[in-house]
Amino acid sequence: MKKNTANKNQTTKKNTKAAIKPALKSVETKRTVNPWSLSIYVYWFIILFFIAATFYILGRSHGTCTDMSGNANNVEITEEALLQASDYYQSAKEKLVAGNVADAIADLTTAIEAGNATAEMYILRGEAYMQTAEYRKALADFNSAIEMDQVNAIAYYDRALLNIRLEDYNTALSDINNALASQTANPTSVLQMRDLYAKRGQLNLWLKNWEGAIADYTNSLARPDGVVNPTVYAERAEAYTQLGNYADAINDYASAIRVISEQIQGATSAAERENLSSNAMGYFEKSAALNLATGNVDAARSDLNSAYTIAVALTDSASMERIQNLISELQ
């Protein structure tokens, strides 16, 4: 009985092994035939390789600068380099205040070439170049500043001043318009709307746009910010005179003289007081001419007497003689 049982067990084991072998062969066949189970590891290896390569290239690019021709010079832009550029910029500002323009330009050039140039650096160097009459370099810097910051009112204003020096008044007018728009969109405490309107009024005056000049000067005087400049009243008087509006012109000359009388009280130097007094004397003479043109001889004589008094105070013998002759003609 035990022998029969043992025979049965051996037979069962043989049958089981016989059944397992085809199944294993089937599994092995499937593993050999299906390429995906093997190649997926290859795909993941390729993907990881490209990711690693990308980070490596980006890391290299952040540590490499290029020159003007686009060639890599392998200069690493470190935090120390950026701080150094800021230090040079601050140093340049101090040197400009001290009147050391050449060294200020050198510092600004170093700051810009450090690789982290700002619009302010280009603006300051452009202003320095203007002081040395290097107008082409100044223009290039103002253009660079505007390319970096298209709503920078200071860059437009400085470029307008440069174009005024170059006597390109139409281009200067366009820059002032852009400065006004930029100041509205992106205000800066460095500029005042009062001054921007006054400068545009001056350009319109030179371009003989009398109505435009009057409108701009009026806008300038209406602004609450900044300090009133007596020349704004005087130049608006010139525009009124060109239009034949003598009454308003006379009033503006009177306002200019009033502002000057206030400013003289706070003048800190004899030269400043003399300059203001000389301007007032001229405004009195222009007002006298307008009063005479309107037939108001008494007012004209009063203006000339005031002008003569200032000439005496300034010991300006030439003006004293000229004004005295005009007074004599009114007798």
**CATH code at position 267:** 1.25.40.10
| Region for residue 255 given its phi and psi (left: phi exceeds 0; alpha: psi -120 to 50; beta: otherwise) | alpha
In a domain, 49, yes or no: no
Is residue 220 included in any domain, yes or no? no
Number of structural domains in the chain: 2
Is the pLDDT confidence value at 282 over 50? yes
- Domain assignment present for 87: yes
Alpha-carbon span 253 to 256, nearest angstrom: 5
pLDDT band at 84 (very low <50, low <70, confident <90, very high): confident
Return the higher-pLDDT residue of 31 and 325: 325
Two tokens, residue 204: 């319109």
Instruction: Tell me the whole-structure pTM to 2 decimals.
Output: 0.73
Secondary structure (3-state) at 200: helix
pLDDT digits (tens, 9 = 90+) for 85-137: 788 888 889 999 999 999 999 999 999 998 789 999 999 999 999 999 999 99
HSE-up (13 A, CA, CB side) for residue 85 = 17
CA 31 to chain centre: 70
The average confidence (pLDDT) of the chain is: 83
Q: Which domain holds residue 150?
A: 81-179
The residue among 143, 164, 179 that closes a domain is: 179
Interval 141-177: pLDDT, tens: 999 999 999 999 999 999 999 999 999 999 999 999 9
Which residue carries 């000067």 as its tokens? 217
The single-letter code of the amino acid at 71 is N
Tokens found for residue 206: 């030179």
DSSP 40: H
What is the rounded average pLDDT of the residues 214-241?
Answer: 96
Distance CA 216, CA 218 (A): 5
Asked which of 179, 196, 215 is the last residue of a domain, the reply is: 179
45 has a pLDDT exceeding 60: no
